[in-house]
Chains A and B, each alone.
Chain A
Amino acid sequence: MTVGLGAVFSGLVLAGALALYLSMRDVLHDQFDAGLRVKALVVITATEQQGGKIDVDFSDRFLREFDDDVATAFFQVWQVGGPSVERSDSLRRRDLPQRFGTMKKPAFWNLRLPSRDRAGRAIGIKFRPRFDEDDEGSGRAAVDAVVVVAAERGDLDELMRQVGGFLGAGGFALLLAAWLAVRVVLRPGLRPLRRLADQAASIDARNLGQRFPEADVPAELQPICERLNALLGRLETSFQRERRFSADLAHELLTPLAELRTLEESALKWPDTAGPEMFRETLDITLRMEALVLRLLELARAEHGRLAVTLAPVELGTLLREIWSAHESRARAKSLEITFNGPQSSPLQSDAVVLRVIAGNLIANAVEYTGAGDAVRVEWWVTAAGAQFGFEVTNPAPQLTESDVTQLFDRFWRKDAARTGTEHSGLGLAVAREFARALGGELDAKLRADGVLAVRFACAGKGSRASPV
C-alpha cells in the first residue's frame, strides 16, 4: 500500500510539474510572440507605398535593439514577389528567411539568427502598406509587402531552463517529503492492519478458536474484526460438526468391525465356536454395517441434490396413518396414546416415497423415545389445491434440552452418547431433513416450554396441478 501510494503520488507530482512547465512555456512564448508582433507592427506602421514602390520610413533610433551595436532584434521588408526593400542595421546586409502569414494569423518560427548564430524567433506577416498621402485616391494598383521580424530568444530559453530546473528540484523535494510523510504517518497507521494480517495468516483448521481483537484496533478496522470473528465462529462450528461426524462415523464402523474380528479370531482360535450361531451373528453385524453405509449414501445423495423426486398424487392423512400402523405394536407395548388431527381429505402432489422416509423417521423416533403411557400427536394440513402442506409429530421429551434440539439433525447425534442399541444409527433425522429439502420443504424441531418436542415438516408444495415427473 505504501509503495502504491508513493507511486501514485509521484505520478501526480510529475504530471503537475510537467503541466506547469508546459503552461508556463506557452505563456512565455505567447508574451515573446506578442513582443515580436508589436515590433512587426511598428515596422508595418513605418511602411508606405508610393507610386507602386514600398518605402520604409524607419529609424533604428525608435527601437535600439535593431541598431547595429545592440543587434538583438532584426527586421527585413520585401515587396511581394520583389526584392528586399529594407532591413535593420543589425542584419548587416544579411537576409532573414522569408516566411509569412496574414495580419490576423502571422507565421511564427524558431530560427538561427544571422548575427552571431544565436537562437531566435521570428514573425512573418504579409500586409498591404498604406498609400502615401499624395498617392491616395490616385487609383494606382496597390502592392503588398512582407515583413519578417526576428529577435533573440536566449533570455526566454534561459528563463525556461530556470523554470524547468526549479520545477524539477521542487518536484523531487516534494516527492522526498511525500515518501517520508508516507513512512512516518502511514506506516504506523497501517501497523494494526499488518498485525491483523499476521494473525489471519496464523489461523488454520487447528486453531479456529482464535479471535481478532475488537477493542484495541482503530475504529476503521473494528467492523472488519467483527465480521472476521463472526466468520471464524461459523467456521469453528462447522469444523466441530465435521470432526464430530468423522469421530462418530469411525465409532459407528469400528465397533461392528471389532465385533466381526473378535468373532472370526475366536473361531480360528477355538474352531468349536464357529457354528450357525456365529454365522448368524456375523451376518447380523454385516447387515447392520450395510444399512449404515446405505444410509450414509442416501444422505450424501440428498446433500448433493441427486435425490430423484417423482411427483404423484398423495393422500397425506392416509399415508401418515399407514406409517403409524407399522409402529403400532411397539406403541401398544408402551401404552402410547396416539392422536391424529388433520383434514379427512388431504390430496396433494408430492413424492410418496420421500414423504414416507421423512414421516417414518419422525414417527419411529416418537415411538422409540416417548415414555410409557405418554401421548404422541400427529397433525397434518393441506391448503387448497395442495399449494402448501406439512405435518408435525409431537411427543413429551423431558430428557431433551434446548441445546440437544440444536443438534437433533446432526449426523450420528444421539442423546445417549453410548449409542446403546443398534436400530438407531443417529442418521435418521439428518436424512429426513435432506429429504425434506429435496421436496422443497423444511424440517424443524422445537422444544416447547412444557417439555414437548414438536418436529414439523412444512412444504411449499408443487400443487395438485403439477404433473408427475
Chain B
Amino acid sequence: MRVLYVEDSASLRRSVAEALRRSGYAVDVAEDGEEGAALALAEPYDVVVLDLMLPKLDGLALLHRLRAASKTTPVLMLTARTAVSDRVAGLNGGADDYLGKPFALEELLARVQALVRRRYGQTVATIELGPLRIDTVAKWVGCRGRAVDLKPREYALLEYLALRREAVVTRSEIEAHIYDDLANPMSNVVDSAICILRRKLTDAGVPPVIHTRRGWGYCLTLHDVCTPSSAD
C-alpha cells in the first residue's frame, strides 16, 4: 500500500514515515502543501496523511484541490488543531478521518489500515482464501494455522493482491502501490518479488493462488479465472 505523508515538521515527517514503512507501506513524503498537492494529484496513493497547517498551501486547500480533481484517495487529517470546529471543517472539506496531535502511533497505523481496507471494500481485518489467512492488523500470514514468514515488502505485495483478489493487477499498479518513489520503474522488482512470494507460499503448503496473466499482470485467486480491472 502506498501512503503520502504531508507534514512540515521534519522530525514527524521522518519518524512517522519510518513507522509506516516498517508497517509495510510504501511512503512518500512532502514538506509543504504545494509539493503534497502535486504528488497527491500525480500518484495513485492508497491513503494521504495530511497536516492542516502547511507552508505554501494549507491542508484544507490541498484537500479541496484533490477533491475538485475527482481524486477519491482517502485522506487522514493529522493536526494539532483539534477543536470541534476544526474537525468539522476538515471532515466537511472531504477528509475521511481526523486525528489530533499528539497521537498514539498504533492508532495512526490502525486508522491508516482501516482507510486502506475501506478503499478496497474490505470491512474485516482478516482475509481468507482457502487455507490462506491474512491478518491485516497483525500483518500475519498463515496456512492452516502455520505462519508464513514474509518480509514487510512481500507481505505488502500479498496484502495488495489479496485486497484486489479475483482481479488482474498490473505490474505498474503493483509498483505504484507497493514501492515508493525510490523504486526504479525499469527494474524487474515486481517479478522477483512475486517469484519469492510464490515460493514461500508453496513451501508453507498454500496451493497456487498467484496466477500470471500474460500481457496483463497477476491475479490472486483459488481458481485461475481473473478479469482485468484497475483501482485508482
Binding site for B on A (CB under 8 A): 247, 250-251, 254-255, 257-263, 265-266, 269-270, 273, 281, 284-285, 416-420
Across the interface, do B81 and A258 meet the contact criterion of CB distance under 8 Å?
no
B124 at the interface (CB under 8 A from A): no
Q: CA separation between A262 and B81, bound complex, in Å?
A: 18
Interface contacts beyond A251-B53, A262-B12: sample of 9 additional A-B pairs, CB < 8 Å, sorted by A: A255-B101, A258-B103, A259-B9, A263-B15, A265-B106, A266-B19, A270-B22, A418-B32, A418-B53
A273 with B18, Cβ < 8 A, contacts A247-B81, A259-B9, A417-B53 known: yes
Across the interface, do B19 and A269 meet the contact criterion of CB distance under 8 Å?
yes
Across the interface, do A258 and B106 meet the contact criterion of CB distance under 8 Å?
no
Across the interface, do B105 and A255 meet the contact criterion of CB distance under 8 Å?
no
B121 at the interface (CB under 8 A from A): no
Q: CA separation between A269 and B50, bound complex, in Å?
A: 23
Would you give the shortest CB distance from B86 to chain A, in whole angstroms?
9
B38 at the interface (CB under 8 A from A): no
B123 at the interface (CB under 8 A from A): no
Number of A-B contacts (CB under 8 A): 78
Would you give the shortest CB distance from B203 to chain A, in whole angstroms?
27
Across the interface, do B19 and A418 meet the contact criterion of CB distance under 8 Å?
no
A residues in contact with B32, CB < 8 Å: 418, 420
Across the interface, do A265 and B11 meet the contact criterion of CB distance under 8 Å?
no
Would you give the shortest CB distance from B81 to chain A, in whole angstroms?
7
A258 with B55, Cβ < 8 A, contacts A266-B18, A270-B22 known: no
Name 14 interchain pairs, CB-CB below 8 A, sorted by A: A254-B100, A254-B101, A255-B12, A259-B9, A259-B12, A261-B102, A262-B103, A265-B106, A281-B11, A285-B11, A416-B55, A418-B53, A418-B58, A420-B55
In the A-B complex, the 5 residue pairs with the smallest Cβ-Cβ separation, listed nearest first, are A258-B101, A254-B80, A258-B102, A265-B105, A259-B11
Q: CA separation between A284 and B10, bound complex, in Å?
A: 12
Q: CA separation between A418 and B8, bound complex, in Å?
A: 8
Q: CA separation between A108 and B128, bound complex, in Å?
A: 128
B66 at the interface (CB under 8 A from A): no
B residues in contact with A265, CB < 8 Å: 19, 104-106
Q: Which of B85-102 touch A at CB < 8 Å?
A: 100-102
Q: CA separation between A250 and B106, bound complex, in Å?
A: 23
* Binary per-residue interface labels of chain B (51-66) against chain A in the complex, 1 for a CB within 8 Å, 0 otherwise: 0011110100000000
Q: Give A270's nearest chain B residue, CB to CB.
A: B22
Across the interface, do A418 and B16 meet the contact criterion of CB distance under 8 Å?
no
Q: Give B19's nearest chain A residue, CB to CB.
A: A266
Binding site for A on B (CB under 8 A): 8-9, 11-12, 14-16, 18-19, 22, 32-33, 53-56, 58, 80-83, 100-106
A residues in contact with B80, CB < 8 Å: 250-251, 254-255, 258
Q: CA separation between A257 and B12, bound complex, in Å?
A: 10
A261 with B103, Cβ < 8 A, contacts A418-B58, A420-B55 known: yes
A257 touches which of B58, B102, B105 (Cβ 8 Å): B102
Q: Give A260's nearest chain B residue, CB to CB.
A: B102
Would you give the shortest CB distance from B184 to chain A, in whole angstroms?
26
A residues in contact with B54, CB < 8 Å: 418
A251 touches which of B12, B56, B81 (Cβ 8 Å): B81
A261 with B55, Cβ < 8 A, contacts A247-B81, A251-B81 known: no
Would you give the shortest CB distance from B30 to chain A, in whole angstroms?
13
A residues in contact with B18, CB < 8 Å: 266, 273
Query: Which of B8, B12, B56, B81 has the most chain A CB atoms inside 10 A of its CB?
Result: B12
Would you give the shortest CB distance from A95 to chain B, in whole angstroms?
104
Across the interface, do B12 and A420 meet the contact criterion of CB distance under 8 Å?
no
Across the interface, do B15 and A259 meet the contact criterion of CB distance under 8 Å?
yes
B residues in contact with A273, CB < 8 Å: 18
A residues in contact with B14, CB < 8 Å: 281
Would you give the shortest CB distance from A205 to chain B, in whole angstroms?
15
Q: CA separation between A263 and B14, bound complex, in Å?
A: 9
Across the interface, do B105 and A418 meet the contact criterion of CB distance under 8 Å?
no
Would you give the shortest CB distance from A171 to chain B, in whole angstroms?
65
Would you give the shortest CB distance from A245 to chain B, in whole angstroms?
14
Q: CA separation between A257 and B8, bound complex, in Å?
A: 15
Query: Which of A247, A258, A419 has the most chain B CB atoms inside 10 A of its CB?
Result: A258
Q: Give A281's nearest chain B residue, CB to CB.
A: B11
Q: CA separation between A254 and B33, bound complex, in Å?
A: 20
Across the interface, do B102 and A254 meet the contact criterion of CB distance under 8 Å?
yes
Would you give the shortest CB distance from B105 to chain A, in whole angstroms?
4
Across the interface, do A262 and B19 meet the contact criterion of CB distance under 8 Å?
yes
Would you give the shortest CB distance from A243 to chain B, in whole angstroms?
10
Q: CA separation between A332 and B105, bound complex, in Å?
A: 42
Would you give the shortest CB distance from A253 to chain B, in whole angstroms?
8
